[in-house]
Structure 1
Amino acid sequence: MTLLEVRGLEVTYPGGAAAVRGVDLSLAAGQKLGIAGESGCGKSSLALALLRLLPAGARVTGEVLLDGEDVLTMRWGQVRAVRWAGASIVFQGAMHSLNPVHRVGDQIAEPILLHRRTTTAAARKRAGELMEQVGLPAARAAAYPHELSGGQRQRVMIAMALACAPRLIIADEPTTALDVMIQAQILRLSEQLVSEQDLGLIMISHDLAVLADTCDRLAVMYAGRVVEEGPAREVHEDARHPYANALSAAFPRIGDPASRFAPRGLAGDPPDPAALPSGCTFHPRCPVALDSCAAHDQELREAGPERRAACVHVGTTVPGPATATEDARTRGHDVADR
C-alpha cells in the first residue's frame, strides 16, 4: 500500500526562485527512498514542503498525499495532528535542533504530551524507552545536549521523531558532521527501525554511496527536478543521466585506485533557481549535451525496469564518467575535483 504519493509538487520562493519543479514521488510502508543532489538542488525544500514547514512567503502547489489525504489542503488543526503523529522529520545538525537549556528526555517527552492524552510521568517514561530503543541508556534522559556526543545527539533526534509513532520519517542529512563509524551506526539504526516498525523513510543526502547502501530506491534531483529515479544500487552503479553519473563518480570507490587518487566531478554549481537556463537546466555543465538540449527540456522517460531518467540520451549509450570527463575537456570545460 502506498504511504506517500507526491504529484506535481512545486515550490516557489519570493522573487521567483523555483526551488522544486513538478516532482512526482511515491513511497510504500517499509520502503526507504533516498533523495540525492548537490546543495541548492531543492532537496530540503522538498522535505519541508511535505509537512508544510516552509516560510509563509513560499508558494506550494501540487499534491502531497499521506495515507490518501492531501497535506497541502488540510486545515491547520489537521496539519498539527499529522506532524509528529503521522510524519516527522529529523533535521541535520542535532546541536542546532535541540534546545540547549532543556534536558533531552524532556524534549523527547514534549511531543508526546502535545499529541497524546497522558501524564508527564508517563511521557518521561516513554522518553526513556525511546532512548533505549535508539541505543542510549534511559538514564541519559537527564543530560543536556552539550553533555552528549554528536552521535548521541543524533540518536536523540531519531527518538524524538519516533515519539508519537509516525508512519513516515523524513531524515534530512542525518549523518552530517558525524565520523564514519558513527555515521554507519546511525544508518544501521535507521534501517533497523524501518524494518521493525514498518515505517516509510525518506533519506536526503548528497552522498550517493550512502543512499545506495541504505535505501531501496533513489531519486536524483537537479535544479528542483528529479532527473533520475530507480533502484538505489542500480542508479549509483549505472546511472542513465549524466548528472547522476557525475555525482556518483565524484566519490572515490574502495578498491579502485584510479577512482581513489583522481576523483571526478563537475565544474561550477547548480543554477540560480530564480534564473534557470533555457532547455535542459543541466546542459551548461553537461559533458554530453547536444545543441538541442539548450532549447528543449527533457521529461522523465523509461530508462529500464522500474527506472526513469530525463535525458535525451536515454535509449542510447550514455558515456560513462571517464568518457564524459574527456569529452568535457575537449569541449573546453574545466572538469575539476570537488
Structure 2
Amino acid sequence: MRTRRRVRTQPEAGGVPVNALEIKNLHVTYGSGPGAVPAVRGVGLTVEPGRKLGLAGESGCGKSTLALALLRLLPPTATLSGEILLAGEDVLTMKWGRLRAVRWAGASIVFQSAMHSLNPVHRIGDQIAEPVLLHRRTTPAAARARAGALLEQVGLPAARAGAYPHELSGGQRQRVMIAMALACDPRLIVADEPTTALDVMTQAQILRLIERLVADQDISLLMISHDLAVLADTCDRLAVMYAGRVVEEGPARAVYDTALHPYGHALSAAFPRVGDPASRRAPRGLPGDPPDPSALPGGCTFHPRCPVTLDRCATDDPELRDAAPGRRAACVRIAPAVPS
C-alpha cells in the first residue's frame, strides 16, 4: 500500500507562510559599459508554497537566464540586482557557504538537455548519490540506496543505477535528472524546458511524472517552456516574458484561453486547438523575431511586431499592472483594474 509523504510546511514570519520563491525587481546584465546587454529587466514573480508557476516566451526572452540567476549559476560577466528570496532568504546576499547549502537542498534545477547535464563517464546511480553525500551526513551505501529509491520513484528500476547515460533513452535520462533534483528534498524545483526534444508520448509521461511528484511531496515548481499549452495544462499560474520582462501574468488556463496582452494572445494562437478545425488547418504565427537585447526599440519593446499597435506604443513603455482580478498585464490598451 502506497503511503502519502507527510506534507512539509514552509517557515513562517509573523504567522504568515513564507513564499517558496519571491523575485523582486530582478535585473540581469551581461557585460558592462556601452556594450552591456540587459537580459532580464525588472522581473517580479512569486511562487507560493506547493504551487506551480509556468514561465513562457520565445527563445531569447530571458527565461533560462532567469532560471540560472535563481541559484547564482550565471557566469562572472553577469551583473545581478534586485532580490531573489528562497523561503524568505535572499540568494543574492548569501555567502558562498550558505549558497552551497541551499543548492540542491533548498532549490534544485532540472536542465533542458539531460545528455549535456549528465557526466558521460560516471554511472547514473553515482551521479544521483553525489548530492546526497555532499548535503547529508550519510554513508556511501545509504546514498546508493537513496539513489535506487529515487530511480524507482521516477519510474525506473533501481538496477539501472549501474547504467551510463548513453545506455538510456532520452526520456529515461530526463527521469534521471528529475531524480537528481529530488535527491535532497528541495522545497522548490525549477524545470527549464524539461521536455525539449522528447517525442509527444514521452513528453506527456514526463509532465505527468512532474505533476505527481510535486503534488505528492508538496514541492513548489517553476516550469519554464516556450509551449503555452503545456504550461496551461500543468501549472496553476502562468507568466509570459518578452524581451527580458514579464508582460502578462495570471491563472494559467485564463492566460492561455483569453490572453490580455497581444504577445500572450499571439503565443496562444500559435498552437492549434484540438476540436477546432480552423486553428488546426491554419495555425497563426507571429511575424518577425524578438528584439536584440543590446538594441531594444523605444517605447513598448513589442510594438514593432504588435498587430494592434498604437502611435503611443512607440514612446510609452507600460509597466505590469493589475488588469483583472488575479491578472496583470503591460499594455497601453489595457485599462487598469478598478479596486473592489
Give the letter aligned to residue 216 of structure 1: D
Q: TM-score, normalised by structure 2?
A: 0.92
1:4 pairs with 2:21: yes
C-alpha separation in 2, matches of 1:196 and 1:259:
36
User: In the alignment, which residue of structure 1 is the partner of 2:287?
Assistant: 267
Count, aligned residues: 316
2:56 and 2:75 mapped to 1: Cα distance? Answer: 23
Which has the higher mean CA deviation after the structures are superposed, 307-316 or 77-86? 307-316
| Post-superposition offset of 1:254 | 0.8
Tell whether 2:176 aligns with 1:151. Answer: no
Alpha-carbon shift at residue 96 of structure 1 (Å): 1.0
2:75 corresponds in structure 1 to 55
Q: 1:40: which partner in 2?
A: 60
Letter in 2 for 1:243: Y
Matched, 1:203 2:220: no
Alignment-mate amino acid for residue 135 of structure 2: H
Q: Distance in 2 between matches of 1:102 and 1:222?
A: 39
Amino acid corresponding to residue 4 of structure 1 in structure 2:
L
Out of 66, 72, 83, the residue aligned to residue 86 of structure 2 is: 66
Secondary structure of the structure 2 residue equivalent to 1:106: helix
Counterparts of 1:82-93 in structure 2, within 5 Å, are: 82-93=102-113
- Aligned letter for 1:202? L
Q: How far apart, CA to CA, are the structure 1 residues paired with 2:27 and 2:66? A: 8
Greater shift after overlay, 257-266 or 236-245?
Answer: 257-266
Provide Cα deviations, 1:281-315, integer angstroms capped at 9, x if missing partner.
00000011100010010111212110000011113
Aligned partners of 1:96, 1:5: CA distance in 2, in Å? 29
Q: Secondary structure at the match of 1:315?
A: coil
CA deviation map 1:264-295 (0-9, x unaligned): 11111111111110000000000111000100
Indicate the residue corresponding to 1:179 in structure 2: 199
Matches within 5 A, 1:183-262: 183-262=203-282
- Local SS of the residue matching 1:85: coil
- The AA in structure 2 aligned to 1:166 is P
* TM-aligned CA deviation for residue 164 of structure 1: 0.5
Asked if residue 164 in structure 1 is aligned to residue 181 in structure 2, the reply is no
- After TM superposition, where is structure 1 displaced by more than 6 Å over at least 4 residues in a row? none
Q: CA deviation at 1:16?
A: 1.4
Matches within 5 A, 1:85-104: 85-104=105-124
Alignment of 1:108 with 2:125, yes or no, is no
* Bigger shift: residues 261-270 or 222-231: 261-270
Partner-residue secondary structure (3-state), 1:84: coil
Q: 5+ residue gaps in structure 1? A: 317-338
CA-based RMSD? 0.8
Superposed CA deviations along residues 10-56 of structure 1, whole A, max 9, x for unmatched, are 00001311110000001111100000000000000000001100000
Give, in whole Å, the separation in 2 of the partners of 1:29 and 1:158: 19
Letter in 2 for 1:81: A
Partner of 1:333: none
Classify the secondary structure of the residue corresponding to 2:21.
strand
Q: Which residue of 1 aligns with 2:155?
A: 135
Residue type of the alignment partner of 2:52? K
- What amino acid maps onto 1:32 in structure 2? K
Please state whether the residue corresponding to 1:7 is helix, strand or coil: strand
Shift of 1:257: 1.1
CA deviation vs aligned residue, 1:173-231 (integer Å, no higher than 9, x gap): 00001111111111111111111111110000000000000000000000000000000
Question: Would you say 1:121 and 2:133 are equivalent positions?
Answer: no
1:9 CA drift (Å): 0.3
Q: State the Cα deviation string for residues 58-81 of structure 1 (Å, max 9, x = none).
A: 000000011111000000111111
Give the Cα–Cα distance (whole angstroms) in 1 for the partners of residues 255 and 73 of structure 2: 30
Amino acid across the alignment from 1:294: A
Report SS of the residue matched to 1:61: strand
Q: Secondary structure at the match of 1:141?
A: helix
Supply the distance in 2 between the matched residues of 1:278 and 1:290 (Cα, whole angstroms).
14
